[in-house]
C-alpha cells in the first residue's frame, strides 16, 4: 500500500486498510475544498462513517444499506450521521448532486446490476465530487475467498455455519433471501466477484467516473487469513503476518478514487 496513513487516521493500526484509504481521501478532500457531505453506500456496521464524523472532517454523513436488520441494529451515537435502509436496486431518496463524496467500500462485488447502482451514485454526486471504491482484487489467490464457500460447496458451508450458529439462522440468511440477499450478496449475483484494476477502471468509465488515484493491499492475505480464521492455534503470529502482507503488497484488495465525468453509458432498466 503506497498511501501514507497519518497517525490520526482511526484505521491506521487496523486491518481495515480500505477504510484507512477512504479516510485519507476524505481528509484530503476536506483540506482542499472544505468539509464534504458524505454518502456511505452499504454502510453495514457504520464503523467507517462514525469514525469519519468523529474526526470532524465531514459536514454531514449519511449511511444507507439494503440490510434492514444491520441498519436497525446500529446504535445511533452521532447527531451528524443519518442511517437509512433502502430497497435493493431502487432509486436513492436524495436529490441530484446531494453529496460531495460517495464511499462504496466492499459493495460493488456483491451487486448484480452494477451499472444501475453506479448510475444512481453518479446522479447524487456533485459535479466536483469524488467517488471512492474498494473491491477484492483478482489474482492467483482469489479462489481462496471464503465468501464464495456457500456457492462452491453449499453443503460444507451449511455444516460449518450451523455448527457455529443455528439451522434457523442459516435458513433466514442463506435460503429465505431476506432483503433480496444470500448472506450479503444479491440473489441474482450469486458470486463474490473479484476485479482486476483494468476491469474496474472500464466499469467506472462506462458509468461516468474517471480514475484519479488507485492503491491496494495484500497478496498472500487470503491464505493467511483463512489459516487465521479457521485455525485454533497461532492466532497472534498469523494476524501479525497478515498485517505485514497487507502493508507490503497491493493485489488482494483494490481501492480507487474517481472524479465525475460527463462521458457515460446510460444503463437500461
The predicted-structure confidence for 128-137, as pLDDT tens digits, reads as follows 999 999 999 9
Q: What is the pTM of this model?
A: 0.95
**Mean pLDDT across 152-156:** 95
Q: What is the pLDDT of residues 206-238, one digit of tens each?
A: 999 999 999 999 999 999 999 998 888 899 999
Residue 17 has pLDDT above 70, yes or no: yes
Residue 110 has pLDDT above 90, yes or no: yes
**Mean pLDDT across 12-31:** 96
Residue corresponding to grid cell 455448527: 163
Residue 73 has pLDDT above 70, yes or no: no
Query: Residue 109 and residue 252: Cα distance in Å, rounded?
Result: 14
Query: Residue 103 and residue 41: Cα distance in Å, rounded?
Result: 6
pLDDT at 71: 72
pLDDT at 75: 60
pLDDT at 100: 98
Q: For 42-96, give the DSSP string.
A: T-TT-HHHHHHHHTT--SEEEEEES-HHHHHHS----TTEEEEE--TT---SS-T
Q: What is the pLDDT of residues 247-267, one digit of tens each?
A: 999 999 999 999 999 877 777
Confidence of residue 114 (pLDDT cuts 50, 70, 90): very high
Domains of the chain are: 17-138+192-218+250-260 (3.40.50.150)
Query: Residue 2 and residue 122: Cα distance in Å, rounded?
Result: 27
Query: Residue 171 and residue 178: Cα distance in Å, rounded?
Result: 10
Of 78, 88, 89, 39, residue with least CA distance to 55: 78
**Mean pLDDT across 50-59:** 93
Coil/strand/helix, residue 219: coil
- Average pLDDT of the chain is 93
Confidence of residue 78 (pLDDT cuts 50, 70, 90): low
For β-strands 125-136 and 99-105, DSSP reports them as: parallel
pLDDT at 267: 77
pLDDT at 178: 87
Amino acid at each position: 500500500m503506497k498511501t501514507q496513513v497519518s497517525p490520526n487516521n482511526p484505521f491506521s493500526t487496523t486491518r481495515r486498510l480500505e477504510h484507512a484509504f477512504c479516510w485519507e481521501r476524505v481528509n484530503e478532500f476536506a483540506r482542499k475544498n472544505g468539509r464534504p457531505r458524505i454518502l456511505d453506500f452499504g454502510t453495514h456496521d457504520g464503523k467507517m462513517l462514525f469514525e469519519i464524523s468523529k474526526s470532524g472532517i465531514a459536514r454531514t454523513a449519511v449511511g444507507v444499506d439494503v440490510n434492514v436488520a444491520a441498519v436497525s441494529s446500529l446504535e445511533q451515537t452521532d447527531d451528524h450521521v443519518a442511517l437509512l435502509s433502502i430497497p435493493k436496486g431502487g432509486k436513492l431518496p436524495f436529490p441530484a448532486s446531494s453529496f460531495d463524496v460517495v464511499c462504496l467500500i466492499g459493495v460493488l462485488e456483491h451487486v448484480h446490476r452494477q451499472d444501475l447502482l453506479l448510475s444512481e451514485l453518479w446522479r447524487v454526486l456533485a459535479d466536483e465530487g469524488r467517488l471512492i471504491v474498494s473491491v477484492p482484487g483478482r489474482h492467483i489467490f482469489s479462489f481462496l475467498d471464503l465468501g464464495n464457500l456457500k456457492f462452491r460447496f453449499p453443503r460444507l458451508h451449511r455444516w460449518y455455519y450451523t455448527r457455529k450458529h443455528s439451522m434457523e439462522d442459516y435458513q433466514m440468511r442463506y435460503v429465505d433471501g431476506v432483503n433480496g440477499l444470500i448472506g450479503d450478496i444479491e440473489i441474482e449475483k450469486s458470486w463474490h466477484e473479484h476485479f482486476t484494476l483494468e476491469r474496474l477502471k472500464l466499469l467506472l468509465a462506462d458509468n461516468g467516473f474517471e480514475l484519479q488515484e488507485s492503491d491496494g493491499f495484500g497478496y498472500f492475505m487470503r491464505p493467511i487469513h483463512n489459516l487465521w480464521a479457521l485455525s485454533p492455534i497461532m492466532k497472534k503470529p498469523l494476524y501479525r503476518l497478515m498485517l505485514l502482507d497487507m502493508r507490503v503488497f497491493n493485489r488482494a484488495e483494490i481501492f480507487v478514487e474517481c472524479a465525475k465525468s460527463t462521458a457515460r453509458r446510460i444503463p437500461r432498466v
